[in-house]
Structure 1
């Protein structure tokens, strides 16, 4: 059985929550700034991972302030949590995986605008880990094996499908995938309840260190080489009503992205919104931090989604991308 798309139940829950919130939630401060921004304060949801570091860096370095913009940051787990808050108005911009954002947009439940690319794939940024004494030696050995990950039908599932395609392997998601939060994946592997786990950094590095796990494969080659992973998005309505605010956010974000690959800068910023300590930050594999947002690059995400059944029809991402840089 092939990997499932985002389930109707989970997507329906997101839509229902969004509709409820849209009736009750209120947005950020609407007062205009001295330099003509439509909003001088915005609320931004950020995942507590390296890909979200640019927001904290831009706050610390005064890049947002220089644009006349005050950013209030709130940590979120990703698009599934952030989308209802975005639609309800309690968040203006959210950080999430491009796969989830495109799925939500094409479903018709949300009309979204991608404002900035936050990260793209590098070696061992995400990976399939196995126990140090595992007999699994290559991706083809995953056929029929139990695999742990954080959700079904999500971006990790798509990355795995693309990686296994050359071996003609389909994973039975209902039977063989064990769902648990990323912090619980180490125990799943250690206990032998699964044969492999799919995790992103910092878990790739941490689990190798703590139990001697090894990387069976990563997602940095083939159809997902340099693959765009996460970005920052708003509703289409917010972007249309607040073009100067969006442009100010983008300018400050790009400046911060240019610094994000400096581990000393990361070491100062990340403990403020994650539980990562400076030692971990010094060891983990870093993503690429794009300093522009490009529809041609993001089109690859939609194309791979269509290839593996995450989209029913071809989708042109250009109208939903606010290109910059």
Structure 2
């Protein structure tokens, strides 16, 4: 999973605004897909609702694709699967994709390519929460405490650090500990961690089951409207399967569009995220962008540089692959 920039920006624009940059790589025009069955890495979270919408409504099938969902714990953890070929495409947060590309992690497979935007932050969907009887009541109380995140050096860590600093808390004073999202509620309840960085539907589930209370909204202030995550593959896969990538993009454009409709998404959350109907009806939605915007996504890389998650400036444009429907 999206200071973080000490930069005031409007949604849909990056840094201080400006027109959309055109990515350098173009996916192929419509044609017969090279690979009809693809393995897609996904988390059981609201952010990937568009995939399940596209499956349910037959958008992938219309494009000649069959999608096999593969559960992952986070974007960083999925990247080795892309490199090995165990995954064809994966959902992941922008921080993990950029960090891996900057390090040359996927150089043997022609690097990493980003093919679809996925999710953008809105209030109440990126929360650091704790149990109701915790001594942690305010952001300043998090100093010296332990916070659960799903994977290190990802969008959760980045936005947590930015909003902690914005609330006069030294990010270095906080200890982050890895927990899969489904295990965070128990970790907070039994005191294994002092707080947890949760996303939907786990926020609403924890609020209803243990009375979890919000300490800090990590999608506020310097991180308001921050791009969160999307879908990536390897340069090798994109080059060898351009029509497959383009077909995936067209199906996802429809899924992203429809994912903004709560009545469409809520029953799917019950199925793939394993939450009850009432919880699904209460979750807070982020935004599901329908295009890859280099200017908007560059904002994340700039914030990573600010908070030490990148050693030098990083241009995201060479990673982007656009095509019909993306």
- TM-score, normalised relative to structure 2: 0.82
Kindly state the Cα deviation for residue 135 of structure 1 after the two structures are TM-superposed: 4.6
- Look up the SS of the partner of 1:57 in the other structure: helix
- 2:121 alignment counterpart: 121
- 1:63 alignment counterpart: 59
Cα distance in structure 2, aligned partners of 1:60 and 1:116: 19
Cα distance in structure 1, aligned partners of 2:42 and 2:177: 26
- 2:234 alignment counterpart: 235
Asked if the contact 1:35–1:68 (Cα under 8 Å) also holds between the matched residues in 2, the reply is: no
Cα distance in structure 2, aligned partners of 1:285 and 1:291: 19
Cα distance in structure 1, aligned partners of 2:131 and 2:276: 25
Q: 1:315 to 1:275 in 2, by over 3 A?
A: same
Residues 190-233 of structure 1, C-alpha deviations (whole Å, 9 max, x = no match): 33444322211222112221222211111222221111111110
Asked if the contact 1:130–1:213 (Cα under 8 Å) also holds between the matched residues in 2, the reply is: yes
Cα distance in structure 1, aligned partners of 2:42 and 2:236: 20
Structure with the higher helix share, 1 or 2: 1
Structure 2, unpaired ranges of 5+:
1-29
Q: 1:129 to 1:60 in 2, by over 3 A?
A: same
- Look up the SS of the partner of 1:197 in the other structure: strand
- 1:150 alignment counterpart: 150
Paired positions, count: 291
- Look up the SS of the partner of 2:258 in the other structure: coil
Mapping for residues 147-186 of structure 1, pairs under 5 Å: 147-172=147-172, 176-186=175-185
Cα distance in structure 1, aligned partners of 2:35 and 2:149: 39
- Look up the SS of the partner of 1:305 in the other structure: helix
- TM-score, normalised relative to structure 1: 0.82
Kindly state the Cα deviation for residue 171 of structure 1 after the two structures are TM-superposed: 3.6
Cα distance in structure 1, aligned partners of 2:69 and 2:47: 14
Cα distance in structure 2, aligned partners of 1:40 and 1:147: 41
- 1:9 alignment counterpart: none
Cα distance in structure 2, aligned partners of 1:61 and 1:151: 32
The answer to whether 1:102 aligns with 2:107 is no
- Look up the SS of the partner of 1:258 in the other structure: helix
Cα distance in structure 2, aligned partners of 1:40 and 1:178: 39
RMSD between aligned residues: 2.2
Structure 1, unpaired ranges of 5+:
1-33
Q: 1:65 to 1:222 in 2, by over 3 A?
A: same
Cα distance in structure 1, aligned partners of 2:179 and 2:248: 34
Residues 252-301 of structure 1, C-alpha deviations (whole Å, 9 max, x = no match): 10101111122221133334433223222111111211111111111011
- 1:141 alignment counterpart: 141
Residues 132-154 of structure 1, C-alpha deviations (whole Å, 9 max, x = no match): 24454432232223333334433
- Look up the SS of the partner of 1:87 in the other structure: helix
